[in-house]
Chain A
Amino acid sequence: MGRYVARRLLQMVLVLFGASLILFVALFVLPGDPIGTAGGERARDPAVRAVLEKRYGLDKPLPVQYVRYVGRTLTGDFGESYRLRRPVSEVLRSRFWATAKLALAAIAFEILIGITAGLIAAVFRYSFWDVLVTLTTTMVIGIPTYVGGSILQGIFAQNFDWFPRGGQGDGGLDTLRHLVLPALTLASVDAALVARLMRGTMLEVLRADYVRTALAKGLSKRTVILKHVLRNSVIPVVTYVGIAFGGLMGGALITEVIFDWPGIGEALSTAITAQDNPIIIAVVTYGVTAFVIVNLIVDLTYAYLDPRIRLE
């Protein structure tokens, strides 16, 4: 396991290096005029432009700029938000926790709803419930986040007034109430995919020899399903939930906009409208880093659960 972890860590460093190159090329090398955008009228004067380029280090050769960019990324120094005139790290800190809360709640929904639905569909194969689960999941997969969110909001916040329409609430139970609709929205597509995956894997496991043996020994169907089948069917689900994390981040971007959830995605959306580049760069960089780290954790968990992976 130790060697596997070391190899994966090395791979992650490589991936982050590659990703940082892509980011750097997009932001610093490709034509674009950050000084003109940020400086406005003043930047037309070549003298002012030279001063600004010097201050932001844009006059240095590209490799030097790249090292500076990586160094500042590692120390979390993304400069000052153009719009808010506060350090980017300070602006994003509280946002980060809001997004983390939303993502965790969504993953909880994904696992809870997905596994339960998939389990019911597999155990009662071809029954009314199975058909219901299959039809619902197929429909939900075709509904984009921004449509699903609007629909949930329309029904449960606007029509029935069961849940608030948006915002974060003021802590404790109120925040939980505010969390339900955005988390459900964010979880919907992945919950449907988890349910499909769970159904497929479980049907396969149900045919396994050890399941027949367990039933032949006289164990109740309930025990066999909960003790033998369930445990062996959740491994692909664990991997899937990890892989889906990237989509979750894209989805969080939209979900947060729809429900005014004060997270990273909402900050990014505001920054895009305001052309607040430091915030955009920070969010994209952190988003990519978080995605890579989560993928690593998933792979390691998977290797821990299934020793064969490590030998690959």
Chain B
Amino acid sequence: MTDAPPTINEAAPPKDAVPAAAFGIRGQTQLGGIWRRFFRNKLAVLGLGMVAVVFLTAAFAPLLAPYDPRAQNLQNTTAKPSAAHWLGTDELGRDQLSRVIFGSRIAIVVGLASIVLALFLGVILGSIAGYRGGKADSIVMRTADAFFAFPLLIGAILIILVTGRGVFPVILSIGVFTWAVPARLLRSSILSVREAEYVEAARSLGASSWRIVTRHVLPNSMAPVLVYGMVSVGTAIVAETALSFLGVGVNPDVPDWGNMIAAGRQFFGFLDYLWIYPSLAVVFTVLGFVFVGDGLRDALDPRLR
């Protein structure tokens, strides 16, 4: 690819321009404004903190967990919370606290990976549909419609029936039945950006389609997609734990919140701590992502408030 001529927004300022600082004005960038608005939102900052806690827990799980999450101790099953086992032990004598801590790994990995997959598919197909238009647009959007006809859980179960249980199938199934939303968002966002003057300018300067899309169109139309991605990490985690809860998620011996809640519910009414603690972990994590997503939405587009 040859170097495209400089586009208008990359042009250098005129030489005699007086720097804004001379008037006591601090420079304001777009990104700076977004950050400031985000950090002014208390709930968003709280959410960021909560997400950070979950991330750190997942990263340092082996250091934080007092026991091996898979180690069974059939001499000490369903023990009540105590000094040795802060959250008690489950029906196989495994330490609950360690399992809750290790469960964050599955939640984070599946939540992030499935949404990255969905965004990857959605951005590629959405930008083809939005920028190319015409036949490509019809094909992509009709395919998206067909995927839209599947409620997430039902579609995911369908895929897992074919592939079998496991972490990768869960990621794949959530990603495959989520991409249609970001694709649609990006397409409509591109449609409004496509005709903008700066795109026309780039085109008239001879920039390639690839350059126009990656340099000019995408940066100006990604905001709704990124917000969607942030909020849906929470949704993906709920879906993952729900699949495990229904017995079609990750394998049953894996320390996973959905698995723990499903197993703990067998003791509903007398050993409630077995399902309450993993439930709290899910709610904490999901709320964290919801707060961050909401904050990001408000920061990116204050009009949406």
Contacts and interface: CB of A to CB of B under 8 A. Distances in A.
B272 interface: yes
B121 to A, nearest CB: 14
Interface stretch (B34-42, B150-158, B203-211): B150-158
Interface stretch (A65-73, A112-120, A141-149, A304-312): A141-149
Interface string B177-205: 00000000000000000000000000000
Interface stretch (B1-9, B127-135, B237-245): B237-245
B158 A23 contact: yes
Given A154-B268, A288-B154, A14 B145 contact: yes
A138 B234 CA distance: 13
A281 B34 CA distance: 47
A257 interface: yes
B294 to A, nearest CB: 8
A19 B143 CA distance: 9
B268 A272 contact: no
B154 A144 contact: no
B268 A22 contact: no
Interface stretch (A26-34, A51-59, A87-95, A121-129): A26-34
Interface string A9-47: 001001111110111001100111000000000000000
A246 B242 contact: no
B254 to A, nearest CB: 18
A70 to B, nearest CB: 14
Interface in B146-171: 146-154, 157-159, 161-162
Interface string A245-264: 01101100110011000000
Given A14-B142, A141-B290, A272-B246, A284 B154 contact: yes
B169 to A, nearest CB: 12
Interface string B105-141: 0000000000000000000000000000000000000
B71 interface: no
A229 B246 CA distance: 43
Interface residues of B, number: 41
A269 B148 CA distance: 22
B248 interface: yes
A188 interface: no
B58 to A, nearest CB: 18
A36 to B, nearest CB: 13
Interface of B: 43, 142-143, 145-154, 157-159, 161-162, 234, 238, 241-242, 245-248, 258, 261, 265, 268-269, 272, 275, 279, 282-283, 286-287, 290-291, 294
10 contacts: A18-B149, A19-B150, A22-B147, A142-B234, A147-B282, A154-B269, A154-B272, A158-B268, A247-B151, A250-B153
Given A150-B268, A247-B152, A288-B154, 20 more contacts: A14-B142, A15-B142, A18-B143, A23-B158, A30-B162, A138-B291, A141-B290, A143-B286, A144-B283, A146-B241, A146-B245, A246-B150, A246-B151, A246-B152, A253-B154, A254-B153, A254-B245, A272-B161, A284-B154, A291-B149
Interface of A: 11, 14-19, 21-23, 26-27, 30-32, 138-139, 141-147, 150-151, 153-154, 158, 246-247, 249-250, 253-254, 257-258, 268-269, 272-273, 277, 280, 284, 287-288, 291-292
